[in-house]
């Protein structure tokens, strides 16, 4: 009895298993391939993966922006106390997190200027105006850095751009622009004077020396520094004066001139 019942159950089980297997074979078309949009499930999976990836990128970007903002504020606090080295360090780390933030480059340019790193200040300011060519303060900082280097023509153009972009009349920009315009006029006068000296030379050695001084005068220090304008003209020898005495005087004059330039 037990054996007969077991056989009947086994038979029913085999029938059920065969039926399930048959349904599975019928539900999967022979032409179906992985990635085919069949019932839309594959497309849905791909779409969900894309959404998840985008959400992850947005989250990482948000975290980077938050870190950059925190470092920017920390740097501002150091700058307020005059600790430009620590301020610059914070802003550089902030740039590592958010390299497209033009504000961070302008702040870095200010720090470089305060630390006497003029070329780096110009590089940072140029990056700032490249990222945002419509920001007045970026061009103002660039103009300051260029003036500090003695590039008055470029500084003048940057200040003019800053004034043109200013949303309102900016007294600070106007004052600094006028200072650079004054320095440009002063430089033009110096150039004219030096050219007269060059043109007045008859001796080739004197002409070369004057030409050298003229080129040195092409640059002028920032407004807050003394302007050193070395003048060298080999005076004609006095009647009866020994040529060796003249050479010695010329040598002493050249030495004093070099000391003046180095100072």
| pLDDT value of position 52 | 55
| pLDDT value of position 73 | 94
Determine the 3-state secondary structure of 18 from DSSP.
helix
The sign of the CA dihedral 108, 109, 114, 120 is positive
Burial of 250 from C-beta contacts in 10 A (0-12 / 13-18 / 19+): middle
Answer for the pair 239, 220: CB distance below 8 angstroms, yes or no.
no
Interior/surface letters 218-237, b for 16+ CB within 10 angstroms, e for the rest:
eebebeeeeeeebebebeee
| pLDDT value of position 232 | 38
Enter the tokens of residue 211.
């030409």
Q: pLDDT tens for the chain, 263 residues: list them.
A: 444 444 455 556 555 555 655 555 555 444 444 444 455 556 655 666 555 555 555 555 666 678 889 999 999 999 999 999 999 999 999 999 999 999 999 999 999 999 999 999 999 999 999 999 999 999 999 999 999 999 999 999 999 999 999 988 899 999 999 999 999 998 888 777 767 666 666 666 666 666 665 565 555 544 444 333 333 333 444 444 454 454 455 555 545 544 444 44
Whole-model pTM over 0.75: no
| pLDDT value of position 33 | 45
CA dihedral 148, 150, 156, 157 (to 10 degrees): -100
Q: What is the CA radius of gyration of the chain?
A: 39
Q: How far is CA 229 from CA 125, 189, 226, in A?
A: 30, 12, 10
Q: Which residue has the tokens 């006029």?
A: 185
């Amino acid at each position: 009895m037990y054996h007969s019942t077991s056989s009947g159950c086994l038979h029913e089980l085999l029938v059920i298993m065969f039926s399930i297997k048959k349904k599975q074979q019928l539900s999967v078309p022979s032409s179906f391939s992985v990635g085919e949009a069949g019932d839309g499930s594959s497309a849905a999976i791909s779409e969900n993966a894309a959404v998840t990836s985008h959400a992850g990128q947005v989250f990482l970007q948000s975290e980077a922006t938050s870190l950059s903002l925190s470092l920017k504020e920390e740097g501002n606090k150091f700058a307020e106390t005059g600790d430009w080295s620590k301020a610059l360090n914070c802003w550089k780390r902030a740039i590592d997190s958010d390299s497209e933030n033009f504000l961070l480059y302008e702040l870095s340019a200010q720090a470089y200027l305060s630390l006497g790193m003029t070329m780096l200040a110009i590089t940072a300011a140029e990056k700032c105006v490249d990222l945002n060519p419509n920001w007045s303060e970026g061009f103002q900082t660039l103009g300051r850095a260029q003036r500090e280097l003695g590039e008055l023509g470029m500084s003048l153009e940057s200040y003019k751009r800053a004034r043109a972009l200013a949303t309102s009349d900016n007294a600070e920009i106007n004052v600094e622009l006028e200072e650079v315009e004054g320095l440009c006029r002063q430089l033009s006068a110096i150039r004219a004077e030096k050219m007269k000296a060059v043109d007045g030379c008859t001796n080739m050695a004197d002409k070369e020396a004057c030409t050298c001084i003229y080129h040195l005068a092409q640059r002028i220090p920032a407004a807050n520094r003394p302007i050193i304008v070395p003048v060298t003209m080999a005076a004609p020898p006095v009647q009866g004066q020994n040529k060796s005495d003249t050479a010695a005087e010329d040598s002493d004059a050249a030495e004093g001139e070099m000391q003046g330039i180095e100072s």
